Amino acid sequence: MLWIVAQIGDFQSDRSEIVSQRTQAGVPTVPRKVKLTNLSWSELRVTWNDPDNFYGPRRSYVIDLYTSTNSDAVQNGTEVAQNSTEYRFSGLEPATSYTVEVRANNGRNTGPPGNATARTNDGYPSSPTSINRREEDTHCDISWSSPAATRGDIIGYKVHLQGAYVGKNGQTQRGEYSVKSTTSTSIRLMKSTKTEILDLLPNSVYTINVTGFTYTGEGDFSQTVNCTVPPGKPSKPESPVPPSDPKDVSTTFPLQVKPATDRNGPIGCYHIVVVKSSIPVNLPYPEMLQPYKTVEEAEDSGDGNIAYIAMALTPDTVGDSTTVTVGDGTVTSCKPQQGGRKRRALTSDDVYNQEYTNSPLEPDSSYTASVRAYGPNDGTQPYFSASQYMDPVSTDANRDGSVIPSHTFLAGMIGLGVVSALLLIALVVSVAVNVVLKRRLANSKSKHEANGTTVQNDAFDDTYYTDTRTNRAADDGTYCDVINDDNTKRRGTNQDGEYDMPDVGGEEGAYQTLDPRTLEEGNNAYQKLAKNRVLKHPYQ
């Protein structure tokens, strides 16, 4: 505001009319606490506080966004309302660094910027390029190039494997799916062999493609290549199953055999390997077991485990499932029908052309079995997979002559053990009681017997008696003490610690010569006791 007054000496006039005039707007100060935050691989958010002074009316904010690396403008002159203090950017490039500038505007002037920098997250890469396959008999080499758009840092690659195989019905079956990771742009996939399962399963055609991945996730799939694996090591058969309640004689037992799947290729022959072992838990891994062609060879080998091939069964014989009798004496073979092409390889003859005798089992023995599935006979070293061992079976000649399964045999042994333990406890208690009674008897005799001679009277249970001279006022001084020495049958020598005297011939262990008076008194005492049928002991 402005007014004017006149002044002469000490005199001053009244004020003029008041005149108001506003200065022009200045330049706002810098917005405070500008911050740029990463929301995703394509979004950022900027926030800020008001400047200290707008130096004019508060109108709006002006925001600019550009790339930090080359300062390319992404968004210029974006105006935000005066009451807003944040703004969100979208549609940005992944893994890119951006810088934002925020300025305050008062309608006349725009102030200096407050700025901040942030980087968007990694995105999903595009597909790897130039995928290539080089196939050998033992492996497939797969290689590729990095994605054209990495959209971040490539951490590694994932190789996707989808198998397929032709089943028994001639139809293509979808097989296993697996993923392998690598940080390289190439990988070697090993084909399974006739003896070992490796990266790629036998009897398969694999479709293979590759993806790259960042911290955010996997990108697009590459083009597809194929890799073929011939038939190889057969699938593992199921363990054979003995019936829970067999009814056969003790030298045989029935066994259920199920086929292996044809996933890894067709099956040429099955072998039933029987093992006689007193400790089945110590058997080697089924595929490491070395069976003999006959039980006689196995017994003569001196091995702790008698392992032999009991039967050879063709896939047609096994079918979906079959039950065979182990130990029934039959002769089996997988050799082809008469007129078929003869195989020349010696090692193959052992598997496909050899005849095997299903020898009877021995009673009171423990047996287990494993099934081996062999691939087709191609004239080379036979290849197979083996099932796990079945639960052991104990043969035993029962009243009905049946085989006892291991669990039944074990239960019987447990019951027998319990009964034996109870009998042992009873025996220990009985011995302890006898010891206590003998000690009490010995103590009583040492207190009450003065002079005594052992006599035998066969008229009363072949029991030995001792007549004893005592000085009791209530009786005639003659008592008959029962010393039951039936267990030891010692006669005259150290009986219960009382005597150690030779007989008249000087030989220990014979009857001692009795004084007639003593014998008469003893007989009188016995007659008295026999009438009352009561034996009176000194400690009673």
Same-domain check for residues 108 and 152: no
Give per-residue pLDDT as tens, 133-188.
999 999 999 999 999 999 999 999 999 999 999 887 788 999 999 999 999 999 99
Q: How far apart are CA 353 and CA 507, in angstroms?
A: 82
113, 29 Cβ separation under 8 angstroms: no
Here the tokens at position 524 are 């009188």
In the numeric block, the tokens 């009985």 are attached to: 430
Same-domain check for residues 380 and 335: yes
Residue 308 sits at φ, ψ, to 5 deg, of: -150, 160
Here the tokens at position 162 are 């989808």
pLDDT per residue of the chain (540 residues) written in tens, 0 to 9: 666 777 787 778 777 777 676 678 899 999 999 999 999 999 999 999 999 999 988 889 999 999 998 888 999 999 999 889 999 999 999 999 999 999 999 988 999 999 999 999 999 999 999 999 999 999 999 999 999 999 999 999 999 999 999 887 788 999 999 999 999 999 999 999 888 889 999 999 999 999 999 999 999 999 999 999 999 899 999 999 987 765 544 688 899 999 999 899 999 999 999 999 867 678 999 999 999 999 999 999 888 789 999 999 999 999 999 999 999 999 999 986 544 443 333 357 778 888 999 999 998 888 999 999 999 888 887 889 999 999 888 887 654 444 444 444 444 445 555 556 666 676 666 656 565 555 554 554 444 444 433 334 333 334 333 333 333 344 444 333 434 444 444 344 333 333 333 443 443 333 344 444 444 555 555 455 444 433 333 333
Q: How far apart are CA 34 and CA 101, in angstroms?
A: 8
Residue 311 burial (CB count, 10 A): 26
- 242: in domain: no
Q: CA separation (Å) from 159 to 31, 181, 202?
A: 51, 6, 19
CATH of the domain at 221: 2.60.40.10
Determine the structural domain holding residue 366 and report its residue range.
253-402
Query: Of 370, 402, 434, which residue constitutes the final position of a domain?
Result: 402
- 1: in domain: no
Same-domain check for residues 109 and 182: no
With 0-12 CB in 10 A as exposed, 13-18 as middle and 19+ as buried, what is 361?
buried
208, 224 Cβ separation under 8 angstroms: yes
Same-domain check for residues 198 and 336: no
Element (DSSP H or E) covering residue 75: strand 73-81
Same-domain check for residues 321 and 455: no
The amino acid sitting at 399 is: R
pTM: 0.59
The pLDDT, as a whole number, for residue 432 is 63
- 430: in domain: no
Same-domain check for residues 178 and 300: no
119, 96 Cβ separation under 8 angstroms: yes
- 202: in domain: yes
Here the tokens at position 71 are 């300062």
Give per-residue pLDDT as tens, 188-240.
999 998 888 899 999 999 999 999 999 999 999 999 999 999 998 999 999 99
Strands 356-357 and 366-374 come out as unpaired
**Considering its fold, how many domains does the chain have in total?**
4
Element (DSSP H or E) covering residue 32: strand 32-38
- 123: in domain: no
Residue 93 sits at φ, ψ, to 5 deg, of: -85, 140
Q: How far apart are CA 64 and CA 102, in angstroms?
A: 7
Nearest to 62 by CA among 138, 115, 11: 115
The amino acid sitting at 443 is: N
Same-domain check for residues 266 and 375: yes
Strand runs labelled E in 120-224: 129-135, 139-145, 156-166, 172-182, 186-190, 204-213
The pLDDT, as a whole number, for residue 277 is 81
Q: How far apart are CA 440 and CA 225, in angstroms?
A: 98
Contacts of 300 (CB under 8 A, 6+ apart): none
